[in-house]
Amino acid sequence: MSTREERVKNAREGRITHRKNNMSHFGAAKNKVGIDPAVTIYTTTDVFIESPFAKQTDVAESMLQNMEKTRMERSMKKIQSDLLVTNNRYIPPGQRDGADKKIAYGAEITEKDFHTLRITNVSLETTENELGDLFSRFGQLTRVKLMTDYRGNGSFAFISFSSKSDALEAKNQLQGYGLNHSILKIDTAVQKKRNNW
């Protein structure tokens, strides 16, 4: 014969709950047994109750997923063009598609060759790596420069893209984006004219 130990939990019932559970029927339900159709109403239509714990679609989350998808598609196109083989022959990188768009060796690279965005209202806690990770989803970055203004209200940054279309897409998608409790303001950077005197 085996014995088994069980714990018995004695839960105390609240005074109001006890009184509510022991109330007698009153009004139209008094002295009736079972469910009374005069008191209880049944419906023939379906009632759908949404769970309050169901996952809601967030606009920012879907935007980040779309950015991730676009970044992956770009990287796949780059990999496919890098591995392009015609008639089982190797094609050097200089002769692949888009090679003629690159800057020739020895040519002077100027700021005009890049497309730069000026980001203001950047939190003091933000790093160049965070900005680089955020903006690299839109295209190849050539420069990320974060300027910290300890006397002012925050920092600002300059981010350069190799393509103008990537810079414009990043500007449109991330305008008003929240990063480290600050809302980013993005403008196209304009090079100041220098006085040669």
In the predicted model, is pLDDT for residue 143 greater than 60? yes
CA 129 to CA 35: how far, in whole Å? Answer: 67
pLDDT per position as a tens digit, 105-115: 444 445 554 58
Q: Where does CATH 3.30.70.330 sit in the chain? A: 111-191
pLDDT digits (tens, 9 = 90+) for 144-159: 888 887 776 678 888 9
pTM: 0.42
Q: Tens digits of per-residue pLDDT, 41-52?
A: 777 788 778 777
User: Superfamily assignment of 111-191 in CATH?
Assistant: RRM (RNA recognition motif) domain (3.30.70.330)
- Distance between CA atoms of 67 and 136, rounded to whole angstroms? 10
How far is residue 128's CA from residue 121's CA, in Å, rounded to a whole number?
A: 14
Tokens matching residue 108: 């002077």
